[in-house]
């Protein structure tokens, strides 16, 4: 069965009180929209159509950055959910298969639930995702008879009897493409809000003698984000689930409530994550690593047996081989580090390749930026870089070479060589005492003058 996704992402989100479109507010390191796209991507869709409106250019850029194959269309007037879904009509012209309509501000719908909707769609013409709400509040209600969905009633249009129903509408719909767009053409805006409602679809289907049904999911999957408070609650819910999953996957966390994961964090079994660690987007940590307290990782890969931190920062492009040690107050960016190499203290390694079993002394800096261009530093195998060495890129340090502490290395060092690049020490006997006397006399004179 071919699948097409239509993700509605046109709302302004005025209750966010933000210049940023609602669907671009971040959750676990990714825009809300990306979470919806990821959920749908599990179905291997043939087409993904994003319906943008407010901040359409920003939404388009974010969507294409995540999936360059998706299509973004614009809803220039926000006239309701049916009108929004209908904006995908031209892009899906000739498509034969099932369309699933998702929402860019509803990030937690699971792949399993969408799979259940597709399965139900084999025996029904329209499938709607519903949930039993702890507090139905102002949700639309699903009116059913057995397994048949009779209609969806928006809260503002519902009778008191209908408002007593606890089965609520998530808005997620699965329907045959041809049938969906035929019914969208028939929907009017004769309702309290004067909008074209996607919720009219089940009644339109029944009027054709077709069948609509409901697939139920947990209420937590249908959580929509409309305010910053709800966004914070969603973040807490995501982190609780991510921590639980990490435990089940064999990760040790002594203080899990202080560890924060991104939407795509991958951590292998028998890894220890100490308190107050943040994983931003794009991090993979293999089995048996240790991430020590107060470290921040983003866009990096830590291989088996690595020890990171405390107080380490790994930035995008960092690739660490097995048994690498990155110690306290070390920052790395766009660096490839070979097996067993150690960068233990107070160093910056950027735009660099480090070989195997090398030792990078405290206070080492790869001086990679000249104010205009970035340049590369290459350090070979079994190299010893002395403390407080400045490596002015581009520079190549050969295998088994050594640099003396406090050196400023501006040219290549051949294998097995010792490189020293510092001014000779000069000592002047008695000069310190004379200098202090001069300075104290000068200070006393200034105080008398004031």
- Read off the pLDDT of residues 14-30 as tens digits, 9 standing for 90 and up: 899 999 999 999 999 99
Question: Residue 63 has what pLDDT?
Answer: 97
Length of the chain in terms of residues written: 450
**Tokens at residue 218, please?**
């947990």
Closest among 345, 343, 341 to 358, alpha carbons compared: 341
Phi-psi map region of 176: left, alpha, beta (phi>0 left; psi -120 to 50 alpha): beta
**Max avg pLDDT among 141-145, 221-225, 320-324, 445-449:** 320-324
Mean pLDDT score, 348-352:
98
**Tokens at residue 154, please?**
């928006």
**Spatial contact of 317 and 301, defined as CB atoms under 8 Å apart:** no
Query: At 229, is the pLDDT very low, low, confident or very high (cuts 50, 70, 90)?
Result: very high
pLDDT digits (tens, 9 = 90+) for 267-321: 999 999 999 999 999 999 999 999 999 999 999 999 999 999 999 999 999 999 9
Query: At 450, is the pLDDT very low, low, confident or very high (cuts 50, 70, 90)?
Result: confident
Query: At 135, is the pLDDT very low, low, confident or very high (cuts 50, 70, 90)?
Result: confident
Average pLDDT, the chain: 95
**Spatial contact of 23 and 32, defined as CB atoms under 8 Å apart:** yes
Query: Can you name the residues that pair with 48 across neighbouring β-strands?
Result: 5
The structure's pTM equals 0.88
pLDDT digits (tens, 9 = 90+) for 199-211: 999 999 999 999 9
Greatest CA separation for the chain: 106
pLDDT digits (tens, 9 = 90+) for 75-93: 998 899 999 999 999 999 9
Closest among 337, 127, 325, 150 to 214, alpha carbons compared: 127
Question: Residue 436 has what pLDDT?
Answer: 94
Residue 36 to residue 108: CA distance in whole angstroms: 7
425 φ, ψ (degrees, to nearest 5): -75, 135
Q: What angle do CA 330, 333, 334 make, to 5 degrees?
A: 145
Query: Can you name the residues that pair with 390 across neighbouring β-strands?
Result: 365, 408
The answer to whether residue 212 scores a pLDDT higher than 80 is yes
Catalytic, 276? Answer: no
Residue 408 to residue 270: CA distance in whole angstroms: 41
415 φ, ψ (degrees, to nearest 5): -55, 140
The fraction of the chain above a pLDDT of 90, given in percent, is: 89
**Spatial contact of 88 and 51, defined as CB atoms under 8 Å apart:** yes
Which position among 66, 345, 375, 396 bears the catalytic label?
345
End-to-end CA separation in angstroms for the chain: 90
DSSP H stretches of helix in 164-260: 177-186, 201-207, 228-248
Residue 443 to residue 446: CA distance in whole angstroms: 5
């Amino acid at each position: 069965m071919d699948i097409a996704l239509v993700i509605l992402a046109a709302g302004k989100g005025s209750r966010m009180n933000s210049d940023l479109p609602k669907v671009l507010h971040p959750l676990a390191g990714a825009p809300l929209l990306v979470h919806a796209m990821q959920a749908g991507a599990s179905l291997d869709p043939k087409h993904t159509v994003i319906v943008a409106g407010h901040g359409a250019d920003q939404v388009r850029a974010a969507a294409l950055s995540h999936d360059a194959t998706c299509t973004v269309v614009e809803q220039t007037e926000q006239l309701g959910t049916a009108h929004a879904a209908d904006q995908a009509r031209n892009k899906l012209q000739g498509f034969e298969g099932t369309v699933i309509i998702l929402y860019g501000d509803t990030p937690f719908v699971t792949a399993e639930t969408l799979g259940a909707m597709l399965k139900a769609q084999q025996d029904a013409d329209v499938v709607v995702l519903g949930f039993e709400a702890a507090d139905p509040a102002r949700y639309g209600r699903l009116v059913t008879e057995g397994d048949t969905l009779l209609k969806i009633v928006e809260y503002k249009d519902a009778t008191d009897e209908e408002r007593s129903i606890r089965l609520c509408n998530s808005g997620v719909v699965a329907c045959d493409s041809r049938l969906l767009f035929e019914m969208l053409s028939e929907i009017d805006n004769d309702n309290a809000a004067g909008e074209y409602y996607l919720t009219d679809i089940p009644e339109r289907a029944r009027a054709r003698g077709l069948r609509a049904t409901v697939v139920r999911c947990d209420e937590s999957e249908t959580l929509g984000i409309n305010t910053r408070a709800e966004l914070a609650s969603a973040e807490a819910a995501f982190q609780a689930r991510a921590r639980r999953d990490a435990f089940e996957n064999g990760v040790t966390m002594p203080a899990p409530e202080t560890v924060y994961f991104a939407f795509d964090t991958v951590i292998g079994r028998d890894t220890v994550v100490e308190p107050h660690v943040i994983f931003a987007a794009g991090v993979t940590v293999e089995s048996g690593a240790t991430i020590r307290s107060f470290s921040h990782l983003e866009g990096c890969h830590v291989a088996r047996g690595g020890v990171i931190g405390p107080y380490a920062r790994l930035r995008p492009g960092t690739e660490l081989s097995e048994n690498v040690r990155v110690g306290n107050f070390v920052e790395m960016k766009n660096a490839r580090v070979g097996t067993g190499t150690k960068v233990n203290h107070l160093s910056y390694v950027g735009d660099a390749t480090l070989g195997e079993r090398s030792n990078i002394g405290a206070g080492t800096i790869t001086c990679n930026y000249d104010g205009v261009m970035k340049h590369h530093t290459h350090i070979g195998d079994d190299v010893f870089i002395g403390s407080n060495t400045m490596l002015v890129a581009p520079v190549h340090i050969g295998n088994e070479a050594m640099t003396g502490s406090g050196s400023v290395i501006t040219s290549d060092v051949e294998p097995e060589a010792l490189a020293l690049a510092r001014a000779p020490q000069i000592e002047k006997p008695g000069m310190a005492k004379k200098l202090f006397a001069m300075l104290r006399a000068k200070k006393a004179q200034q105080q008398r003058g004031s």
